[in-house]
Structure 1
């Protein structure tokens, strides 16, 4: 595990640096910031990594996991390149809005992968933006420097247990972080496996491979205060098989943090929303087991503020038939055949305006194509399944999909990035002062065995300009979804481990790996490889697939929130 370089320099180095600064001052008559920049005051060093993967190129703060870091006057930012696999041009950006700040000395540095770090000490408060000029808007970052003043460091009382045991070993880590000044702390847990850090006070991680690991805790108060602590964890050889995924009932849905507007002038009122996605695989059931045994497909329901979007794709139904009875239901497929239709308002009657009806007319092969329905209201937790009725007799049910994971017991915790917090799926918040804020929503179970343990988070950035000067015009809004093409395989294959592939194109906003979801036979898969430059998505199953038909569903969301899905199938044939 890579160690973060210490913030305080040795005494001998400080003495030598002071002599060099004195000489430079004598020659030039002034001390000028440069890269590396001489430190005007002793401060901390905050590490930002250049992170390259097959899917993206990003600047990532060790403390926040994002491209934004808040520091104090006198602190130093150190850009490191040991997570890069190509060269990068680190370039300061001139202000494009009234609330951004001019760099005292422009920053123009080039480093190859594993090159020496670039350091810059900030001696003036402000908001400083930079980029890798090679990758443009894909790779921008922000340094927010706060004015000097009294600031107490955050406090921690961490508990990490167990710290040893056989694989699979589930370790719970709690920071118990707080701040004497009332600042909102940013907590980072790195479990030492190379996986992404977890940015919650309580985190849980399952070690499946024996070995010795170091769990690192970092807590920042956003004003230059930082606490760190390491915990060794020893995992021994286990005696039983490893369950690669938790039960579906313990899972959490995919979420996206949304903000509207995401840019404006202070005071800025923002409507936040937690977009929640649940999915299911259609299968023949009830009378469909005999009448339509090959019925299959996928269903997706996306809930957000003032909007519910439902999509459906079905095959194996009656060819060239009008399916006038397809509904979202309020019970699971196995529970009373899905129960009654889901209604947004239970005080209103059963009718299409108060329900979700993804109706369709099948083609000559019995397939629906992509069916989409959008309603201007957020669906409640009772929207749990999609039922397809017999086109010849609406009283009979032939297909069903359970929408999982469930959403009934979810809790929503928001940190708005300005020292305030909120709760609920769709909170409102007003930013009083200019700045670049990163709002974070954390979703967890409120009940059950994993209440407060398992969680999933997402962030959205809000940029607030000064009241006197209007912000720069907002960029053109990208409303075009990504394009998915060249999918495969689409026919019979004679290998049980075929490479599932697709090409993704989105010139408007770009696509990151975290926004690509691939499901095979209804189960979300891991280990996806994404080559962002060529737009290639690839996945190869580790366990062999069973002979027979397999359904693939690819969902891609670009940086502007536009979403596209594509479903196809192939058959594994015995050799």
Structure 2
């Protein structure tokens, strides 16, 4: 009331406001990102960061119903398909960041299948020497091509190609084996049996007795099992047989041709 005044001061300090916490940045990578099932994939989140703190956890959803944790997990995809793997990182402020990586898994290659060998021959039996034509062209490969045909003729001889030929010179029963190889290196075999008979001995004739008004008798010596008699030659001429005479006894019609030499006089 006397008009006097008094003053006092107080200091107020105003500081900058606390910055808003910043979310982390997630970085996801994988190797490999494609391949054939089952595909083992290594994941990597080590490129993730937090600008104002630290990342506390790494959580993964691999996209096929499986999950994992950690900065460097691994996972195997067993079924073909395209999968999106998702990484979620959480920092010390409880904030999160996500990143994804795509994994493509294809069907596995089927196991290569062996070829099928088919061997045939013509003829499969006969008298030595027997020329035989072999055929492997009926062979096939379900998932590729046949690249070679190899033959073992069973008598020490061999050949190559789909249609070789071979001559058996000795009597016997032979198993000819075909081996085919396909473009995967797989093989198959097939065999065919060839029966070679011995060459029949030539029939040897005895003397021929001919009676003009009687019967014709011809006898064979030796062990001939087959053979036809066509003609008989002696010093008097040629006997031709009408019909076929097998080994044994038969009645046939014959014609006798004789060459007569007449004397020729050349005088002066």
- TM interval, shorter chain, is 0.3 to 0.5
Structure of greater Rg = 2
Instruction: Name the TM-score, length of structure 2 as normaliser.
Output: 0.32
Instruction: Name the TM-score, length of structure 1 as normaliser.
Output: 0.16
Q: Which has the higher helix share?
A: 1
